[in-house]
């Protein structure tokens, strides 16, 4: 395995050594308790910042600020003014994108040299896409069957205060995907970042002020999920929760939201199938399916961790995928040559390496990887070797449970009906992939696979105009696309007797 040691002692004004505060009502403030927690660079294990640890008192303040903004100056802006502010946010994020990429890399381990799809234009495109809707959120004039002269029409109004709870695996995109529909529809937000990756959201909070966003429209409360997250999801003055994270946490949010029947959108876990047919372009399929698992060290909800390969090319695929994986450069996330960075934390390292042991105990065999990466500069960070298991069966834990690390199971299959059944034999339904030159097979799998997204001869492509969401235990609702707006809007029917 190739390794790179990179210097991580770059400093930016944001990393000035001072504890990071909460953003409430346009003001930066310490947590009411005065407590903080630390965040570490997963490439080195070194502490990089202290961050305010909010509690229920801070959540109350943040929700009150969001409510005041919703019912105050923010609600009085015209759609065109709101659209202009969303464009201004996009511009300021784009102008500071390199700093945000640095923070993302040093805080959660995303390789700074990631593919162009992770660039500024792609990141801010969701803001510009939803900005266009701000002036187009009209209702309808509808016919009715009353015996009098009655005008009936509908109004679409913002739902209110939104609690946005995001994970740590891609903080730039996670913030912007939640922020864009909130601003476009006229809602306000209380953002709760993951403890493991709070720096990007906090820096974006500073940039929102530069863009001219009114105080209280976006508030940021950092801290543990068991206090901050619970307080938000149970809060009687929060109208909607937009959550991305684990299925278990999503289930807890459903229960917590019952108090005031909050609206929910939940983008949850996955154990996605990626199906490679014998007629596929093997070179492209190997690269696409392999990076469909190993990108961001496997820390992606869509990761295609169950790779089903048609039996005639099964061994060829394993040989080529193993060679490909061994050539991936593993190292410090700040080095532009790194392809595989660390997992986010020591806790996540223990989780992933625990599954490596479970796989071996169950009888799966690692043809490449299979253990914590070590040696030189890797010893201080949280690195896991990209791992490919063979001799696995569909019922093994490594083939059924979401690992959230660079771990794939390659499984042989013989027929279309068989692989459809096996691909769908999971409680998850977030995404899937198909590799074939046969259009009939491609469309058959795309129609029969029980997943919210199916990629054909590619993997992990996203666009703000295309809805993204899960089936089954992978969630409710969509992010991106026109469908996403409905979760942030209420419909009111108006009856006017005119005779």
Fold of 273-463: Aldehyde Dehydrogenase; Chain A, domain 2 (3.40.309)
Residue 2 has pLDDT above 80, yes or no: no
Under DSSP, is residue 262 helix (H, G, I), strand (E, B) or coil?
Answer: coil
The answer to whether 288 and 458 are in contact (CB under 8 A) is yes
Indicate the pLDDT class of residue 4, thresholds 50, 70 and 90: very low
How far apart CA 372 and CA 352 sit, in angstroms, is: 9
Bridge partner list, 38: 50
Sign of CA dihedral 445, 446, 451, 455: positive
Distance set, CA 257 to CA 100, 219, 236, 237 (Å): 32, 20, 9, 11
CA-CA distances (angstroms) from residue 179 to 182, 187, 193, 279, 430?
5, 10, 12, 42, 22
Q: Is 80 exceeded by the pLDDT of residue 116?
A: no
Phi and psi of 387, rounded to 5°?
A: -125, 135
The CATH number assigned to the domain with range 11-268+475-494 reads: 3.40.605.10
DSSP calls for 52-68: E---HHHHHHHHHHHHH
The pLDDT of residue 118: 61
The catalytic residues are: 267, 301
pTM exceeds cut of 0.85: yes
Q: Which residues contact 118 (CB under 8 A, 6 or more apart)?
A: 101, 110, 173
Task: Read off φ and ψ for residue 258, nearest 5 degrees.
Answer: -65, -25
Judged by average pLDDT, the poorest of 310-319, 373-382, 399-408 is 373-382
Place of tokens 């040093």: 106
Hey, where are the domains in the chain? 11-268+475-494, 273-463
Helix axis angle, 97-108 to 199-210, nearest 10°:
160
At 186-196, the pLDDT tens digits run 999 999 999 99
Place 120 in a pLDDT band, splitting at 50, 70 and 90: confident
Residues in the chain: 499
**Model confidence pLDDT, tens digit, residues 475-485:** 999 999 999 99
Average pLDDT over residues 401-426: 98
**Residue 297 in contact with residue 343, Cβ under 8 Å?**
yes
Q: How many Å is the Cα radius of gyration of the chain?
A: 23
Q: In CATH terms, are 11-268+475-494 and 273-463 the same topology?
A: no
């Amino acid at each position: 395995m190739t390794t790179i040691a990179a210097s991580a002692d770059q400093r930016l004004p944001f990393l000035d050594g001072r504890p990071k505060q909460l953003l409430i009502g346009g003001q930066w403030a310490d947590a009411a308790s005065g407590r903080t927690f630390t965040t570490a660079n997963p490439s080195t294990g070194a502490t990089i910042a202290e961050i305010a640890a909010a509690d229920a008192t801070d959540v109350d303040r943040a929700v009150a600020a969001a409510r005041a903004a919703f019912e105050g100056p923010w609600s009085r802006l015209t759609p065109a003014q709101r659209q202009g502010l969303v464009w201004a946010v996009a511009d300021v994020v784009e102008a500071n994108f390199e700093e945000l990429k640095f923070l993302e890399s040093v805080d959660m381990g995303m390789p700074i040299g990631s593919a162009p799809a992770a660039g500024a234009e792609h990141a801010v495109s969701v803001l510009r896409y939803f900005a266009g809707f701000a002036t187009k959120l009209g209702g309808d004039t509808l016919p009715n069957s009353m015996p009098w002269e009655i005008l009936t029409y509908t109004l679409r109004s913002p739902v209110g205060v939104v609690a946005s709870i995001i994970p740590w695996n891609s903080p730039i995109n996670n913030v912007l995907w939640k922020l864009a529909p909130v601003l476009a529809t006229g809602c306000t937000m209380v953002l709760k970042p993951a403890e493991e990756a709070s720096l990007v959201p906090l820096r974006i909070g500073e940039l929102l002020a530069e863009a001219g966003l009114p105080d209280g429209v976006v508030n940021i409360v950092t801290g543990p999920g068991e206090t901050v997250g619970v307080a938000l999801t149970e809060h009687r003055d929060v109208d909607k929760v937009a959550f991305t994270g684990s299925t278990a946490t999503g289930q807890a949010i459903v229960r917590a939201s019952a108090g005031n029947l909050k609206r929910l959108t939940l983008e949850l876990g996955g154990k996605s199938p990626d199906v490679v047919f014998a007629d596929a372009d093997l070179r492209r399929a190997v690269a696409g399916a392999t990076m469909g698992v190993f990108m961001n060290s496997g820390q992606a909800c869509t990761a295609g961790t169950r790779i089903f390969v048609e039996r005639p090319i099964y061994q060829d695929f394993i040989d080529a995928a193993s060679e490909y994986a061994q050539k991936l450069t593993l190292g410090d996330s700040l080095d532009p040559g790194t392809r595989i960075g660390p997992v986010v934390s020591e806790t996540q390292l223990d989780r992933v390496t625990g599954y490596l042991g479970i796989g071996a105990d169950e009888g799966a065999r690692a043809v490449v990887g299979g253990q914590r990466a070590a040696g030189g500069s890797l010893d201080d960070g949280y690195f896991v070797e990209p791992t490919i298991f063979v001799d696995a069966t569909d019922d093994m834990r490594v083939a059924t449970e979401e690992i959230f690390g660079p771990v794939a199971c390659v499984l042989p299959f013989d027929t279309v009906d068989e692989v459809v059944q096996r691909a769908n034999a999971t409680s998850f339904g977030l995404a899937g992939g198909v590799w074939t030159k046969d259009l009939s097979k491609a469309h058959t799998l795309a129609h029969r696979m029980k997943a919210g997204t199916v990629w054909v001869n590619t993997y992990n492509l996203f666009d703000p105009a295309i809805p993204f969401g899960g089936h089954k235990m992978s969630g409710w609702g969509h992010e991106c696309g026109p469908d996403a707006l409905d979760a942030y809007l209420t419909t009111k029917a108006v009856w006017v007797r005119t005779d």
